[in-house]
Amino acid sequence: MTRDRAALKALADGLLRELFPICRSITGQGVRQSLAILQRHAPLAIQEYPSGTPCFDWTIPREWNAREAWIKDSSGRKVVDFAVSNLHLVSYSVPLRATLTWDELAPHLHTLARLPRAIPYRTSYYKEDWGFCLSQERYDALDRHGTHEVFIDSELKQGSLTLAEARLPGGSGREYLFSTYCCHPSLANDNLSGLVLTTLLCRELAGRDLRHGYRFVIAPETIGVIAYLAHNQEAMRSLTGGFVVTCVGGPGPLGYQETFLGDHHIDRAARQAFRELGIEPLRHAFAPNGSDERQYSSPGFRIPVGSICKDKYFAYDYYHTSLDDLDFVKAGQILETLEVYLKAVEILEQDEVLISTNPNCEPQLGRRGLYPQLGGKLLPSPPRTSATGAVQPPPELGGPQVQPPPELDTVDALLWILFLADGQNSLLDMARRSGAPFGQLRRLADTLLAEGLLRRGQEPPNHA
């Protein structure tokens, strides 16, 4: 990670504050404005897909923008106002000016009894409608007897859907995906946190000499990703795998949602990243009701996509409410998740299949100065196939914390590498099998490569 963590935290915090108030939807100026801000920090290219463009079974909808929206009671007092929170207006509400009775107004009001102070988040992208969202407390205080004046200054027009892409080239022929969605308004964990993390990750990797290619997509959820896939079919079908970055900044424990394969190279890299950092993540199995992996992993594409998250969607009380705000999400929490993503990238970058050049019994390590001078060691180091020693996490980290794996005795680690170097295992497999830290095996493998005891094999197989 960038050396100056404080500077990175300040940058993340600044982005959170600047982007939080902007009214985003699946189209419109709020998305453009947000992506333009992110473009200042990462090499993102903006793409526009015109309304009416067919994309597989979908069509790019009209572009929606809202300038003003409110409800006034009979005394002329604004009782609900889009200017106070953009969650107050149902996204894609059609324009309206009307004076309504309570019975006419009430079906268009949405509340959340479970959290009486929270404004819920609602959309109506594909059905022409209008509506307001408000807290149960505010709703209960409204006048049932008088009329209300309702004004929505919105616009639905033939415009376009906006998304952003960054492609960082690598030499291996492999390309990995990081995708996040930009369609939610003032909701911090879902998914302003994803926008900020993805931008910081792209910024971080853009300055590096990379072995693999990385493709970043920041698009409206569902329709934006469908549009992107429809226009990049061949390239997307050749991706190795990737991550959907969503809900990465909550105060709760870190989690990992598996790819649809469950044990793809992506899953193993992510799990090893957690292990190396001494974090035991919550496990979320793949489900077809999730985020944009629904499109990326659909039968026509089948890209294995995992997700490293912190307070996953559906799993926290404030999900899709005004309480998912900047009191709930902090820059430091986003950096914790970013660290796991960076570790996973580091592992993907450094992993490779290694083959022993002396497969017939062990090579003689002593002759090469790789074995202790005195033979007859009493006890080998114990096998470590699972992390042990759970300790209480520091409060700012939240989740259950385990110790990162300690390094193995050097000879034991060398023996594990040489034993598994049959062309079927990558360093990641060796780390998992031996319990040794990935970094130790990488270092020792470099020594064995230099000694001519190993040669490089094919890129790691995609799935076990």
Residue nearest to Zn ion as judged by C-beta position: 190
Q: How far apart are CA 64 and CA 91, in angstroms?
A: 8
Token look-up 């409206």 returns 220
The least distance separating Zn ion from the CB of residue 309, rounded to whole angstroms, comes to: 12
Q: How far is the CB of 181 from Zn ion (least distance, A)?
A: 8
State the minimum distance, in angstroms, from the CB of residue 276 to Zn ion: 30
Binding mask of the shown chain, residues 51 to 90, with x at each position contacting Zn ion by CB under 5 A:
----------------------------------------
Q: Which CB sits closer to Zn ion, 190 or 267?
A: 190
Binding segment (CB under 5 A) for Zn ion, from list 186-194, 196-204, 248-256, 262-270: 186-194
By C-beta, is 193 or 425 nearer to Zn ion?
193
- State which amino acid sits at residue 253: P
CB of 190 or CB of 292, closer to Zn ion: 190
190 versus 325: smaller Cβ distance to Zn ion: 190
CB of 195 to Zn ion, least distance (A): 13
Min dist CB 288 to Zn ion, Å, is 16
Q: How far is the CB of 190 from Zn ion (least distance, A)?
A: 4
Q: How many residues bind Zn ion (CB under 5 A)?
A: 1
Taking the least distance from each CB to Zn ion, the nearer of 316 and 416 is 316
Query: Shortest distance, CB of residue 287 to Zn ion, whole angstroms?
Result: 15
* Residue 171, φ and ψ in degrees, nearest 5: -100, -10
> Measured from the CB of residue 319, what is the shortest distance to Zn ion in angstroms?
7
Range in contact with Zn ion (rule: CB under 5 A) among 182-190, 254-262, 365-373, 400-408: 182-190
* Binding region for Zn ion (CB under 5 A) out of 184-192, 300-308, 332-340, 426-434: 184-192
Which of 30, 87, 182, 190 contacts Zn ion by CB under 5 A?
Answer: 190
Stretch of 31-39, 80-88, 187-195, 431-439 contacting Zn ion, by CB under 5 A: 187-195
Based on CB atoms, which residue is closest to Zn ion, 120 or 398?
Answer: 120
Of residues 244 and 430, the one with the C-beta less far from Zn ion: 244
**CA nearest neighbour of 454 among 355, 331, 365, 381:** 355
Mapping DSSP onto H, E and C, the string for the chain reads: CCCCHHHHHHHHHHHHHHHCCCCCCCCCHHHHHHHHHHHCCCCCEEEEEECCCEECCEECCCEEEEEEEEEECCCCCEEEECCCCHHHECECECCEEEEECHHHHHHHEECCCCCCCCCECCECCCCCECCEECCHHHHHCCCCCCCEEEEEEEEEECCEEEEEEEEECCCCCCEEEEEEECCCCCCHHHHHHHHHHHHHHHHHHHCCCCCCEEEEEEECCCHHHHHHHHHCHHHHHCCCEEEECCCCCCCCCEEEECCCCCCEHHHHHHHHHHHHCCECCEEECCCCCCCCHHHHCCCCCCCCEEEEEECCCCCCCCCCECCCCCCCCCHHHHHHHHHHHHHHHHHHHHCCEEEECCCCCCCCCHHHCCCCCCCCCCCCCCCCCCCCCCECCCCCCCCCECCCCCCCCHHHHHHHHHHHCEEEEEHHHHHHHHCCCHHHHHHHHHHHHHCCCEEECCCCCCEC
- The pairing of strands 305-310 and 241-244 is parallel
Residue 241: beta bridge partners? 176
324 lies in the binding site for Zn ion (CB under 5 A) = no
Of 24-32, 144-152, 189-197, 453-461, the segment contacting Zn ion by CB under 5 A is 189-197
Residue 39 or 222 having the CB closest to Zn ion: 222
Task: Output the smallest distance, CB 184 to Zn ion, in A.
Answer: 6
Residue span binding Zn ion (CB under 5 A) among the ranges 40-48, 53-61, 190-198, 273-281? 190-198
Smallest distance, Zn ion to C-beta of residue 121, A? 7
Two structure tokens written together for 41: 């920090």
**Which one, 90 or 417, has the nearer CB to Zn ion?**
90
In terms of CB distance, is 190 or 336 closer to Zn ion?
A: 190
- Shortest distance, CB of residue 264 to Zn ion, whole angstroms? 25
- Contacts with Zn ion, residue ranges (CB under 5 A): 190
